Each structure stands twice: as structure tokens, then as C-alpha cells.
């Protein structure tokens, strides 16, 4: 018999909502505009997923991630990916040290991947070998060095950024690694009022500061609570239909999928959609996910998992639009 009562669940849900609101407010003090992007980033964070943040340079991607970690009292690490970045620079390595009694031994020196929030800046500039160093950490939440497993403490989220413009000297992320990202978030260029607000905040003498609150426990509890949220079979079926419809050989795939997509979303995509939908439900004060929640999160959860075919690449078909077609067709 579970000792968790509805009252405890309600208290945890209230703490989650308060933490979410706090983060949104603190990020809003530093990062101007784009509330949808912020909400999706927080949803991904509370689901303990990893996000690929794509945007032109100078749009505040790094600031956004750093603010998130500061506002909730988590450890933060930034990895600036370059072609000469080595896997050991990410996961850590064994270092020969001398003990007090004079004996020497190898001690594992943890890399930046062991932080609660990891920012892999311009991840597509790292070599595939280094990129693959993120794979195990992101999926298994552990790293293996010299045959020894080192577990990464939760909460743990990797936020990787990439520049969609400069492709020279980059190593586009392979599909296997793209699939490990929970969401792909697009940072838009701010509109005129937001730009004016950014100038006002960043060119004066007063710099906005973030008030840290809560801690890793709240995030862990929230992540566990999200997984407990109920979901009806009908809603799960909708998610599966969405995922199936991203495959060109599926009978209910829309025309854009048949025309431009070579391979559709994986089961990880369905997992991401369901977890994100549960998070939105909890934010809404419900303890069950609905079809509306699923439709809201389908685009960021599935768009980066589509592999376009030659025609799609040539015609620069937008995966966001294709997933939008899928959602429309499934509705």
C-alpha cells in the first residue's frame, strides 16, 4: 500500500507549479520575450530531457541556459565545443595523483558533464568522436571511463546549441544523437519591442540579477511526479498515431511526409511527447494528460527526429511545418 496520499501529491504539484513560475519569472527578468520558448525549455528541463537549442549567434541562448541553472540552485557547466575538443574534456579522465602516504594512484577527475545543467555550446563544431561522448551520458546518465561506470547525479540536462547559419567546419549531428534530444527549440530573432527592451536592460549600469530558489530536490520530485500523471489510452493512441504518421510509408501519413520525409520519428519521440504532455497537464492543475497537451508539444518533440529525403533537402522543406501537417491530419 502506497503511503503517498492525494494531499502529498497535491503539495508536490503545487511546489512544482511554484518552481515553474519562479523559473519563468527569473528567466523573464534576464531573457526578453519568447515565452513559448521559455516554457518549452522548462518543460524539457522538468522532464529531465535534453534540448537542442538552435538560433543565430547573439540571441541569448547561453544566457537562457545559465539563468535557468542559477535560478534553481543547480550546478552549471559550459562546454564550448571546438574541433579539438576531446571526449576526456567532456566526461573527465583518470589523473595520476599522489596520496598522503606517498603512494600514487589514478583518481577519476570528473568532467563538466557531471553538472546538473550542461551547456554544450555549438555542439556541431565538435568532432563526431566528441559528440559521441555525450551520447552515453545523455541516454544512460552515466559515463564509462577505463571500464568504470560513473553515474551522473540527477537532475541532469544537456542543452546543446547550434548555429544554423554557419555550417562550414561543422559536423552535423548524426541522427542517433539528434534522437536523444527531448526537444528542439528554435530561438527567434527578437521583434522590435523586445529588441528595445534588451537594449534597455543590457546597456545600462544596472544588470538584472537572478534570485536562486528551490533546489535539486524540487526538480527531482517534480520529475517523478510528472511520470505519475495519468494518461488515457485514447491519448496514448493519438501520440502513437502522430509518430506513425511521420513515416512516409504509414497509411495515414500526410502528403508532405510522403513527399519530403525519408524516415520518421522514433519511439523516443513518442516518449517525449507523452512526458511533455504530462508536464503541461500538471502545470494546468490536472493529473492527467489530454489530447490538447499532446498537440501543443508535438512540434518541438518530433520536428528534429524527421530525416528528410533528397527532395525535402533540396526544397528546404521545414520539419516544423511537416509535423504541423501531421498534427493537423491526426486531429
Partner 1 sequence: MPQSDAALLLSRLTRFRRRATLALWMHDTVPATAGLVLVAEAMAVWQRSLPDRPIETAAALLAAACAIGLTSALVRRPTLRLTARAVDERAHLRDRVVTAFQCRAGSDAISRLVLRDAIAHLDSVSPAAAFPLRLPRAVPTIGALAVGVPLAVAAVISLLPPSPVRSALPSTLADAMPPPGARIERDAAMSDRSGRRSTATADARVTTETIPPSEVERATQPQAGRPPSSTSAATPGSPQPDADTPAGGPGTRGGRGPGQSVGTAAPADAGIAAAAAGGPAEGRGGVGAGRGGAAPADSTAGTSTGDRSRDGGYAAAWAAAEAALPQERIPPRLREYVRRYFSAIRPAAEQP
If one asks whether residue 292 binds partner 1 (CB under 8 A), the answer comes out as yes
Beta carbons of 290 and 277 less than 8 angstroms apart: yes
The helix or strand, by DSSP H or E, that contains position 186, with its residue range, turns out to be strand 183-186
If one asks whether residue 9 binds partner 1 (CB under 8 A), the answer comes out as yes
Which CB sits closer to partner 1, 47 or 85?
Answer: 47
How near is the Cβ of 243 to partner 1 at its closest, in Å? Answer: 19
Distance of alpha carbon 201 from alpha carbon 160, whole angstroms: 26
Cell of 28: 523573464
Beta carbons of 180 and 138 less than 8 angstroms apart: yes
How near is the Cβ of 2 to partner 1 at its closest, in Å? Answer: 6
Distance of alpha carbon 61 from alpha carbon 192, whole angstroms: 19
Tell me which DSSP letter residue 213 carries.
-
- The single residue among 47, 289, 297, 323 that binds partner 1, judged by CB under 8 A, is 289
Give the interface segment with partner 1, choosing from 99-107, 120-128, 149-157, 280-288 (CB under 8 A).
Answer: 280-288
How near is the Cβ of 236 to partner 1 at its closest, in Å? Answer: 10
Distance of alpha carbon 167 from alpha carbon 53, whole angstroms: 16
In a 3-state reduction of DSSP, which class is residue 282? helix
How near is the Cβ of 267 to partner 1 at its closest, in Å? Answer: 22
x/- track of binding to partner 1 for residues 189-228 (CB under 8 A): ---------------------------------------x
If one asks whether residue 108 binds partner 1 (CB under 8 A), the answer comes out as no
Residues 53, 58, 59, CA angle at the centre, nearest 5°?
50
The helix or strand, by DSSP H or E, that contains position 48, with its residue range, turns out to be none
How near is the Cβ of 283 to partner 1 at its closest, in Å? Answer: 13
- The single residue among 72, 186, 229, 239 that binds partner 1, judged by CB under 8 A, is 229
If one asks whether residue 231 binds partner 1 (CB under 8 A), the answer comes out as yes
Which CB sits closer to partner 1, 291 or 329?
Answer: 291
Beta carbons of 35 and 167 less than 8 angstroms apart: no
Beta carbons of 86 and 130 less than 8 angstroms apart: yes
The helix or strand, by DSSP H or E, that contains position 90, with its residue range, turns out to be helix 87-91
If one asks whether residue 14 binds partner 1 (CB under 8 A), the answer comes out as no
- The single residue among 80, 287, 320, 324 that binds partner 1, judged by CB under 8 A, is 287
If one asks whether residue 321 binds partner 1 (CB under 8 A), the answer comes out as no
If one asks whether residue 286 binds partner 1 (CB under 8 A), the answer comes out as yes
How near is the Cβ of 244 to partner 1 at its closest, in Å? Answer: 20
Number of shown-chain residues binding partner 1 (CB under 8 A): 23
Cell of 125: 563544431
Which CB sits closer to partner 1, 118 or 242?
Answer: 242
Sign for the pseudo-dihedral over CA of 20, 21, 25, 26: negative
- The single residue among 17, 110, 220, 288 that binds partner 1, judged by CB under 8 A, is 288
Going across the sheet that includes 183-186, the strands are 76-80, 117-121, 157-162, 51-54, 183-186
- The single residue among 230, 252, 311, 331 that binds partner 1, judged by CB under 8 A, is 230
Binding residues for partner 1 (CB under 8 A)? 1-2, 4-6, 8-10, 228-235, 286-292
Amino acid at each position: 500500500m502506497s503511503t503517498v496520499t492525494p494531499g502529498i501529491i497535491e503539495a508536490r504539484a503545487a511546489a512544482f507549479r511554484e518552481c515553474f513560475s519562479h523559473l519563468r519569472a527569473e528567466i523573464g527578468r534576464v531573457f526578453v520575450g519568447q515565452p513559448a520558448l521559455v516554457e518549452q525549455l522548462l518543460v524539457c528541463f522538468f522532464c529531465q530531457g535534453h534540448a537542442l537549442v538552435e538560433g543565430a549567434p547573439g540571441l541569448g541562448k547561453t544566457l537562457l541556459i545559465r539563468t535557468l541553472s542559477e535560478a534553481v540552485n543547480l550546478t552549471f557547466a559550459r562546454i564550448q565545443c571546438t574541433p579539438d575538443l576531446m571526449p576526456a574534456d567532456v566526461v573527465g579522465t583518470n589523473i595520476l595523483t599522489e596520496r598522503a602516504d606517498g603512494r600514487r594512484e589514478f583518481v577519476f577527475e570528473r568532467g563538466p558533464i557531471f553538472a546538473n545543467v550542461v551547456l554544450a555550446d555549438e555542439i556541431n563544431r565538435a568532432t563526431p568522436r566528441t559528440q559521441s561522448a555525450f551520447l552515453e551520458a545523455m541516454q544512460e546518465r552515466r559515463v564509462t571511463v577505463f571500464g568504470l561506470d560513473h553515474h551522473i547525479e540527477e537532475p541532469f540536462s544537456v542543452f546543446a546549441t547550434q548555429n544554423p547559419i554557419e555550417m562550414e567546419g561543422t559536423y552535423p549531428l548524426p541522427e542517433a544523437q539528434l534522437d536523444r534530444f527531448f526537444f528542439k527549440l528554435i530561438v527567434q530573432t527578437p521583434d522590435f519591442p523586445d529588441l528595445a527592451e534588451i537594449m534597455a536592460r543590457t546597456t545600462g549600469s544596472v544588470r538584472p540579477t537572478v534570485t536562486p530558489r528551490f533546489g535539486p530536490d524540487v526538480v527531482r520530485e517534480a520529475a517523478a511526479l510528472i511520470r505519475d500523471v495519468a494518461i488515457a489510452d485514447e491519448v496514448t493512441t493519438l501520440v502513437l498515431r502522430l509518430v506513425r504518421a511521420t513515416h512516409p510509408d504509414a497509411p495515414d501519413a500526410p502528403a508532405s511526409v510522403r513527399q519530403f520525409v525519408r524516415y520518421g520519428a522514433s519511439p523516443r519521440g513518442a516518449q517525449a511527447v507523452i512526458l511533455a504532455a504530462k508536464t503541461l497537464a500538471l502545470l494546468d492543475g490536472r493529473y492527467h494528460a489530454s489530447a490538447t497537451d499532446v498537440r501543443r508539444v508535438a512540434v518541438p518533440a518530433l520536428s528534429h527526429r524527421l530525416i528528410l529525403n533528397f527532395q525535402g533537402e533540396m526544397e528546404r522543406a521545414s520539419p516544423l511545418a511537416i509535423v504541423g501537417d501531421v498534427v493537423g491530419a491526426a486531429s
